[in-house]
C-alpha cells in the first residue's frame, strides 16, 4: 500500500492559535503526551463545508481533557472557529478533522502539573473508513483478545489517546487473521464495541445496543438511536452477551469515521446487510449532508 505520510503533505494546520505550514506542525520528542499518553482528541467529519455536530465534538473535547485533569486553553467557540478556518484554509469541503490537545515538554515524569497544554487541529480529505466493497457486503469482525477496561481502571468516557493502545492491538490482531476489525468485549465479557465505533444488533425487528458504561457513548450512536426511533424502530440499550449473536439478524457499527457500516460476519457467523441497516445507512447519510432540512422536516 503506498501512502502519503501524514507529516509530509501540503496545507496548513492550526497549532496553538496560529496557522502553520503542514510540515512544520511538530512537537519535541520529550513531550509528556508521547511518553505518558496525556492527550485527548476528536474525530469529526465535514459534509458540504459543514462539520456535523461540531459543537458536540468540541464540548466532548473539553470534557475529555477535564477527565484527564487538564483544561484546553481555548474556549469551545474558539475551537469551533479554528476548525472552520482549517477547513477553509485547506480548501476542504468534505473531509475529516482531527483536533488534539496534549501535555508538552515542561516536565518529564509521571507528574505533569506544570506542563503547557498544546492544541492543534488538522483536516484532510477522507472518503470512507472501510473500503466501498466492504461497506456493501458488510465488514468482517473477529472477537479481540483485548477487552475494554473497567471505569475504575481507565478514563473510559474520555476520548483519550491512551485508550487506543488497546484498540490498535485489537485491530492488528484482527487484521493479522484477515478480518477488517475487532469486536471488543468489556472487562466483564459483555459485547462492548468495535475498535473505533459503537455496535448495534437487530433481533426480531428491534435494535439492541450495549449500555455505554465503560466505553464512549458515540455521537453517531446517539444520532442513529434518534433516527431509528423517529422511524418507529424500537431501540433497547442493555447488557448484551456474545452468545446472543446466534439470535441476531443484522449487525452494524456507528462512528464519525465509520458512519453506519454493516457487519457481514463475526467469527464465522454471518449476517445479512438487511433492510433496517440499509434504511439507517441512508438516513444517516442524508442527515449529515443536510442537517437543517432534516430537522425542518422532522418538526
Ligand X SMILES: Cc1ncc(COP(=O)(O)O)c(C=O)c1O
Q: So which residues are the catalytic ones? A: 159
Q: Closer CB to ligand X, residue 197 or residue 266?
A: 197
CA angle 27, 163, 56 (to 5 degrees): 85
Nearest-approach distance from CB 29 to ligand X, in angstroms: 26
C-alpha cell at 241: 452477551
Binding site for ligand X (CB under 6 A): 43, 167, 193, 196-198, 215-216, 218-221, 254-256
Distance (Å, whole) CA 107 – CA 215:
30
User: Would you put residue 226 in left (φ > 0), alpha (ψ -120 to 50) or beta?
Assistant: alpha
Maximum Cα–Cα distance across the chain: 56
Nearest-approach distance from CB 253 to ligand X, in angstroms: 9
Nearest residue to ligand X by CB is 218
Q: Closer CB to ligand X, residue 112 or residue 134?
A: 134
Q: Closer CB to ligand X, residue 95 or residue 218?
A: 218
Nearest CA to 122 out of 82, 177, 173, 153 is that of 82
Q: Closer CB to ligand X, residue 141 or residue 167?
A: 167
Q: Closer CB to ligand X, residue 112 or residue 197?
A: 197
Nearest CA to 130 out of 74, 68, 174 is that of 174
CB neighbours of residue 181 within 10 Å: 26
Nearest-approach distance from CB 279 to ligand X, in angstroms: 19
Provide the 8-state DSSP code for 115: P
Nearest CA to 125 out of 164, 83, 94 is that of 94
Beta carbons within 8 Å of 24's beta carbon, 6+ residues apart? none
Nearest-approach distance from CB 64 to ligand X, in angstroms: 11
Asked if 27 and 120 count as a contact pair (C-beta separation under 8 A), the reply is no
Nearest-approach distance from CB 60 to ligand X, in angstroms: 7
Amino acid at each position: 500500500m503506498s501512502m502519503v505520510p501524514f507529516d509530509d503533505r501540503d496545507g496548513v494546520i492550526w497549532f496553538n492559535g496560529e496557522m502553520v505550514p503542514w510540515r512544520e506542525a511538530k512537537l519535541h520528542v520529550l513531550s509528556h503526551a508521547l511518553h505518558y499518553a496525556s492527550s485527548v482528541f476528536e474525530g469529526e467529519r465535514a459534509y458540504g463545508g459543514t462539520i456535523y455536530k461540531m459543537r458536540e465534538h468540541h464540548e466532548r473535547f473539553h470534557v475529555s481533557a477535564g477527565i484527564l485533569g487538564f483544561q484546553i486553553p481555548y474556549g469551545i467557540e474558539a475551537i469551533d472557529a479554528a476548525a472552520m478556518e482549517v477547513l477553509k484554509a485547506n480548501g476542504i469541503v468534505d473531509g475529516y478533522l482531527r483536533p488534539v490537545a496534549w501535555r508538552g515538554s515542561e516536565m518529564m515524569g509521571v507528574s505533569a502539573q506544570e506542563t503547557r497544554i498544546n492544541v492543534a487541529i488538522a483536516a484532510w480529505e477522507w472518503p470512507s473508513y472501510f473500503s466501498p466493497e466492504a461497506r456493501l457486503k458488510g465488514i468482517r469482525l473477529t472477537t479481540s483478545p483485548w477487552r475494554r477496561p473497567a471505569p475504575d481502571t481507565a478514563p473510559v468516557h474520555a476520548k483519550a489517546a491512551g485508550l487506543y493502545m488497546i484498540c490498535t492491538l485489537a485491530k492488528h490482531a484482527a487484521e493479522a487473521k484477515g478480518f477488517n476489525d475487532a469486536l471488543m468485549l468489556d472487562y466483564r465479557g459483555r459485547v462492548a464495541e468495535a475498535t473505533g465505533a459503537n455496535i448495534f444488533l437487530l433481533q426480531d425487528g428491534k435494535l439492541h445496543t450495549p449500555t455505554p458504561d465503560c466505553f464512549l457513548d458515540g455521537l453517531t450512536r446517539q444520532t442513529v438511536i434518534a433516527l431509528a426511533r423517529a422511524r418507529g424502530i424500537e431501540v433497547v440499550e442493555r447488557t448484551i452477551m456474545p452468545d446472543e449473536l446466534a439470535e441476531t439478524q443484522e449487525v452494524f457499527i456507528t462512528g464519525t469515521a465509520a458512519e453506519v457500516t454493516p457487519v457481514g460476519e463475526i467469527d464465522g457467523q454471518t449476517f445479512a446487510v438487511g433492510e433496517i441497516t440499509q434504511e439507517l445507512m441512508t438516513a444517516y447519510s442524508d442527515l449529515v449532508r443536510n442537517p437543517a432540512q432534516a430537522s425542518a422536516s422532522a418538526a
